[in-house]
DNA sequence: GCGCGATTGGACCTCACAGTCCAGTTCGGC
DNA sequence: GCCGAACTGGACTGTGAGGTCCAATCGCGC
């Protein structure tokens, strides 16, 4: 059982703000360049802080990375929140799809899903990181599932459908699409993958649909 | 226009074997630990060679990485070759799906698709690498497309179906599945994603099917 | 068996990086 | 205003990385 260093047990509001400021800078840099190619010195420059501040708030770079995972998850889910909230009908899914495609088209040079990239880089390197990322995906998946269950409750989605797996398939397709999009520099993979997912959901719909 | 150093223009058979031996070791290590966390020194240890040999055969680490992309692409496609060759009916697709799931179950601790991982790490870092990876995906995709076109020619797949996009959707789903699988340590994502893809193809089938 | 280029061993160089240290300064409660 | 804890600046260290260099050896064509 390793002893965990735990700095900054008592954070004043000012300290907390500083900490989160550093974290934001780190998240941006890591999204752009990856974990390994982001040095803490770069984070310090970008956040206009100094070494001692950094190590005052974080035990080491690994701890920082774990926190970056957390806030990137929050960012992604936060960005999707308005859509995920209302993801309870086929037209809503369609709008969600369009919003994502638009996002990807806007910056397909940039690069993929922040969470997906972290997962790829960290999954078989740190068990802590992997677990955290797995639960990020799980939260994401379940928030899609929730909408599907609503549809099922209202009788729009067949009772025989499996919202859990349906949601997993949608998220999986999206992640694959984002990876291929950032590699091929086109949004097509995201489009075809999401369209396939929506048709897949549609296939489990009943006759009883809401009027548009 | 940068001057490109070009070592080892004349390779004897022995030299070529040495070079490919180093490359194999590098590919294994990079698959296991990623590009950034694989040092040239580690490659030397694993391949039982020395620095001078390495730099005799490769201009620098970046050049090595480009070659690793090439051989990982060959490995993956080579492994799939037997299936991809015969990927021209729904049952064949089903067998392909089962083979992949089996593979993933066998080593889902290991980690994802070699090509996908490289793509994630390199796509927005080196334009050369990105281009190479994009064409790897494209070759993969088109080899799936080929089977679909055969089905279409025989009238099993509807003339209205779009083999190009169908193949892209399948590959995308697979890549997403492999990423989630390595993160969540379960083969479920691969299963649901591939099942969805196959149903998607099935939806474009005609009544005219081969007898099993 | 000689010559010459292909090949090899490994010491060495340089530098970027994560992480340490300590002398300060600022802040908030009293 | 004073005191202790929270916070900050920046010089410093150790290590591991990529890459260079050169002398020595191998092996093939003649």
* Mean pLDDT in residue range A26-47: 96
Instruction: Give per-residue pLDDT as tens, A127-166.
Output: 999 999 999 999 999 999 999 999 999 999 999 999 999 9
* Mean pLDDT in residue range A45-63: 94
Q: How far is residue B179's CA from residue A117's CA, in Å, rounded to a whole number?
A: 9
For an interface test with B, the pick among A97, A108, A115, A120 (most B C-beta atoms closer than 10 Å) comes out as A120
Give the distance from residue A56's alpha carbon to the nearest chain B alpha carbon, in angstroms. 27
Supply the mean pLDDT for chain B.
91
* Contact criterion met (CB < 8 Å) for B171 and A177: no
Confidence of residue A209 (pLDDT cuts 50, 70, 90): confident
Q: Is the pLDDT of residue B49 over 70?
A: yes
- Partnered with residue A157 across adjacent β-strands are A205
Strand D closer than 7 A to residue B51 Cβ: yes
From A112, A171, A189, residue closest to B172, measured CB to CB: A189
* Neighboring chain A residues of B192 at a CB cutoff of 8 Å: 165, 168-169, 172
* Neighboring chain B residues of A33 at a CB cutoff of 8 Å: 125
Give the distance from residue B113's alpha carbon to the nearest chain A alpha carbon, in angstroms. 10
Among the residue ranges A15-29, B100-114, B148-162, B169-183, the one predicted with the least confidence is B100-114
From A109, A169, A188, residue closest to B192, measured CB to CB: A169
Total CB pairs under 8 A between chain A and B: 152
Give the distance from residue B49's alpha carbon to the nearest chain A alpha carbon, in angstroms. 26
Work out the number of other CB atoms within 10 angstroms of the CB of residue B126. 17
* Contact criterion met (CB < 8 Å) for A177 and B177: no
Q: What pLDDT was estimated at residue A14?
A: 75
From A119, A125, A176, residue closest to B177, measured CB to CB: A176
Q: Is the pLDDT of residue B20 over 90?
A: yes
Residue B23, CB half-sphere, CA atoms under 13 Å: how many? 22
Q: What pLDDT was estimated at residue A16?
A: 80
Give the distance from residue A172's alpha carbon to the nearest chain B alpha carbon, in angstroms. 5
Supply the mean pLDDT for chain A.
91
Among the residue ranges A14-18, A24-28, A100-104, B121-125, the one predicted with the least confidence is A14-18
* Mean pLDDT in residue range A71-86: 92
Strand D closer than 7 A to residue B60 Cβ: yes
Q: How far is the CA of B17 from the C1' of C2 (A)?
A: 27
Q: How far is residue A125's CA from residue A44's CA, in Å, rounded to a whole number?
A: 25
Q: How far is residue A39's CA from residue A88's CA, in Å, rounded to a whole number?
A: 42
Sequence-ordered list of residues with C-beta below 8 angstroms from that of A182, at least 6 positions apart, any chain: A108, A110, A111, A112, B119, B120, B123, B124
Q: Is the pLDDT of residue B4 over 90?
A: no
Work out the number of other CB atoms within 10 angstroms of the CB of residue B88. 20
Q: What pLDDT was estimated at residue B80?
A: 87
Instruction: Give per-residue pLDDT as tens, B64-94.
Output: 999 999 999 999 999 888 889 889 999 999 9
Dihedrals phi, psi of A157, to nearest 5 degrees: -100, 135
* Mean pLDDT in residue range A45-71: 95
Q: What pLDDT was estimated at residue B1?
A: 42
From B32, B173, B183, residue closest to A173, measured CB to CB: B173
Q: By CA distance, what is B111's nearest residue in A?
A: A124
Q: Is the pLDDT of residue A67 over 90?
A: yes
Q: Buried b vs exposed e over B187-209: b needs ≥16 C-beta within 10 Å?
A: bbbbbbbbbbbbebbeebeeeee
Confidence of residue B2 (pLDDT cuts 50, 70, 90): very low
Strand D closer than 7 A to residue B16 Cβ: no
Q: Is the pLDDT of residue B5 over 60?
A: no
Q: What percentage of residues in chain B have a pLDDT greater than 90?
A: 81
Q: What pLDDT was estimated at residue B108?
A: 60
Q: What pLDDT was estimated at residue B8?
A: 57
What is the residue whose two structure tokens read 């039982």? B48
Q: What pLDDT was estimated at residue A1?
A: 41
Q: What pLDDT was estimated at residue B209?
A: 75
Q: Is the pLDDT of residue A60 over 80?
A: yes
Contact B183, A124 (CB under 8 A): no
Describe the crossing of helices A13-33 and A40-47 by its angle, rounded to 10 degrees. 120
More confident residue, B39 or A9: B39
Dihedrals phi, psi of A8, to nearest 5 degrees: 45, 55
* Contact criterion met (CB < 8 Å) for A37 and B125: yes
Nearest partner of A143 among A60, A82, A56, judged by Cα: A82
Instruction: Give per-residue pLDDT as tens, B134-171.
Output: 999 999 999 999 999 999 999 999 999 999 999 999 99
Q: Which nucleotide is nearest to A38 (CA to C1')?
A: C17
Contact B46, B113 (CB under 8 A): no
Q: What pLDDT was estimated at residue A85?
A: 86
Dihedrals phi, psi of B210, to nearest 5 degrees: -70, 150
């Amino acid at each position: 059982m390793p002893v965990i260093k735990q700095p900054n047990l008592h954070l004043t509001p000012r300290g907390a703000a500083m900490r989160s400021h550093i974290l934001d800078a780190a998240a941006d840099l890591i999204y752009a360049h990856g974990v390994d190619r982001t040095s803490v010195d770069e984070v310090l420059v970008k956040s206009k802080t100094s070494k001692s501040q950094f190590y005052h708030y974080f035990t080491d770079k690994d701890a920082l990375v774990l926190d970056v995972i957390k806030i990137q998850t929050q960012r992604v889910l936060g960005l999707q929140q308005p859509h995920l909230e209302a993801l309870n009908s086929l037209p809503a899914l369609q709008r969600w799809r369009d919003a994502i495609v638009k996002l990807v088209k806007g910056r397909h040079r940039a690069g993929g899903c922040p969470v997906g990239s972290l997962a790829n880089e960290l999954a078989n390197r740190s068990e802590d990181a992997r677990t955290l990322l797995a639960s990020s995906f799980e939260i994401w998946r379940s928030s899609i599932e929730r909408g599907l269950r609503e549809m099922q409750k209202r009788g729009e989605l067949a009772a025989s459908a499996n919202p859990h797996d349906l949601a997993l398939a949608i998220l999986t397709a999206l992640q694959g699409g984002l990876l291929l999009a950032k590699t091929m520099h086109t949004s097509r993979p995201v489009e075809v993958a999401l369209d396939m997912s929506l048709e897949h959901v549609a296939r489990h719909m009943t006759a009883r649909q809401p009027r548009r």
